[in-house]
Chains A and B, each alone.
Chain A
Amino acid sequence: MHGGRRLAEVTLQDTGTGSTIPARLARALRGALPVLSVVLAIIVIWYLACIPMNRAWTEDRAPDGVALTFSDILADIWVQERPVLPAPHQVLGELWATTGGEAVVRERRGELRGNPRSLIFHAYQTLAPTLLGFVFGTLAGLLLAIGIVHNRAMDMGVMPWAIASQTIPILAIAPMIIVVLNSMGISGLLPKSLISAYLSFFPVVVGMVKGLRAPSPMDLDLLRTYSADRAQVLWKLRLPASIPFLFASLKVGIAASLVGAIVAELPTGARFGLGARLLTGSYYGQTIQIWSALFMAAICAAALVGTLGLLERLTLRRMGVRP
């Protein structure tokens, strides 16, 4: 269903008339206006929400017997050092200070090491297992989907369990997987990416089973008249037909993969990574640090999903799907 909708989006895009640049720009603006106003509303609400949330702290710090005026409170509310709710500009400031303002690597005892003050370094520590796990998960999902489509026993036996496996809150066993792998001497990238892989394999299985079954009986009959064998049907019909479904599930999968990598860092006392950053922030009450790590995670998610969207467009254009 998801894949089908994506396909519909792709084919429906840019069907409007008027292809001159000003017309296009106007159309883009008209499309962006609702989104921009929603985002603006969120920012305004955020700033307003800071007032009740941070007020108590400002009032507590005021010297005894001094009644604070509302403007006094306003002056303090958006610049506190450890606010209950940091204002957007504080978060962006921290984000800039820890990305643009810090070197990603620094020299320590004659070695180049990641700089733990740099958020880019932390993001890298999380992105590496995310991508590795995503690749594993996608490959496993593809193989499983191909098996399910070609083998009745697998379809009947494995599919219900694949669905059931997702009703299990897998993140709950993330800590255990990491502890167990650590006790077996495996540490570093692999444990985290295993959890990412588990989370990203399911959307791929479900999407690809649908995608590989997407060819109509007519198409399949045509290949039978060519006396194509199963491998040829797979390569020349089923796989190409499943590409829109593949990309739809890849986008879901990579977002899940990132969540997996972040959560994998939580219970194990990881020192580097966005999850570790969240954890240390929560231990020391550094709310701005937590929020900036969250923003970084959001930026990473947007970048990953956006890259896949771009790849999708290029691939579909290559394959001759005209928008």
Chain B
Amino acid sequence: MNAVMRLPGLSVPLLAVMALGVALALIVDLRLAAIVAAWFGLWALNAWMAERAVPGARILVPVIFGATLLLIWELAVRQFEVSAVILPAPSAVAARFSDAAPTLWADFVQTIIKGAMSGYLIGCGAAILTAIAIDRSRFLQRGLLPVGNFIAALPIVGTAPILVMWFGFGWQSKAAVVVLMVFFPMLVNMVQGLRATEAMQRDLMHTYAASYTQSLMKLRLPAALPFLFNGLKICSTLALIGAIVAEFFGSPTVGMGFRIKIEVGRLAMDMVWAEITIAALAGSGLYGLIVLIERRMTFWHPSQRQ
């Protein structure tokens, strides 16, 4: 006990609370006690690592936390024999993931690559170009910014049935939904970004007799990059949501939204969770990719300094 007391982050009261929790759980149910003990044990390990600033804690702590959640999920499902119809164990999901890999890959290509990515690129590209186009007109900016902000707050995903009617069941209609969903958040961010230069910087460009294009390329666009990446990050999630939700309104017999809808109906929850895993991996992957590019390109920004 004495050795533990000296560890920062783990005070005696905290350990006492943990022990009490396990004891209480033990009274109720042995299985519950095992789960609570696992939770507290790994939490204590995390707390200790975080306080001691163990090398690599930045990565280890969240990894252990994630692993804890998975472990508790698995334990809870196994010990309480939760029906697979309600919540499949992570191991069952993993098994299904490798079994149904070809189907999952086809769904991934249909929804993420064809639907979400094409819409994401078109929508963000169009928004960036629009922002640059209206950049010279103060009047248009002042008008578009509030309207864009308003539209960005609307449930645009509701236009999915209309767009599916217009563009058919294929991936094109999903891309159209994604374009609509990402356009306005991106536009608002980009317009703000292009205005993010300081008067001193603009004056400097003026003293250099820089043309509009020169000051755009050398000052305004680089200054807008942090806003650009902020918009790209927000839109990456929106793109996936748009592509998947649009499939609920009609799709060919392939695609993640289609599969989720069908498998929910058949109560094959392990397959649904496998699709969700794909969506999560794709979403985190895209987000991570954007963060990496952002670090490369906006290394000068205060938020990127180590």
Contact = CB atoms under 8 A, between A and B. Distances in A.
Interface in B152-185: 153-155, 157-159, 161-162, 164-166
Contacts of B50: 152-153, 155-157
A38 B61 contact: no
A164 B269 CA distance: 22
A212 interface: no
A263 B51 contact: no
Interface in A229-285: 251-252, 255, 258-259, 262-263, 266-267, 274-275, 278-279, 281-282, 285
**Looking at chain A's contact residues, is the secondary structure mostly helix, strand, loop, or mixed?**
helix
Contacts, number: 170
A37 interface: yes
B61 A172 contact: no
A184 interface: yes
Interface centre among B154, B166, B286 (most CB of A within 10 A): B154
Interface stretch (A72-80, A92-100, A131-139, A296-304): A296-304
Nearest to A166: B237
A225 interface: no
A169 B241 contact: yes
Contacts of A278: 158, 161
B261 A180 contact: no
A262 B158 contact: yes
B158 A293 contact: yes
A171 B146 CA distance: 27
A167 B245 contact: no
Interface string A58-102: 000000000000000000000000001000000000000000000
Contacts of A171: 157, 241, 244-245
A161 B153 contact: no
A95 B47 CA distance: 56
A160 B275 contact: no
B280 A84 contact: no
A176 B240 CA distance: 17
B5 interface: no
20 contacts: A1-B230, A33-B143, A37-B143, A151-B47, A156-B46, A156-B61, A157-B50, A167-B287, A169-B240, A171-B241, A173-B272, A173-B276, A175-B248, A176-B276, A179-B264, A179-B267, A255-B154, A278-B158, A282-B164, A293-B158
A-B pairs, top 7 by smallest CB distance, nearest first, are A34-B143, A282-B161, A167-B283, A157-B65, A38-B143, A34-B142, A153-B50
Given A152-B47, A164-B280, A167-B283, 13 more contacts: A35-B146, A35-B147, A151-B47, A152-B9, A153-B61, A156-B46, A156-B57, A157-B46, A158-B65, A169-B240, A255-B154, A294-B158, A301-B155
Interface of B: 9, 43, 46-47, 49-51, 57-58, 61-62, 64-66, 69, 85-87, 139-144, 146-147, 150, 153-155, 157-159, 161-162, 164-166, 230, 236-237, 240-241, 244-245, 248-250, 256-257, 260-261, 264, 267, 269, 272, 275-276, 279-280, 283-284, 286-287
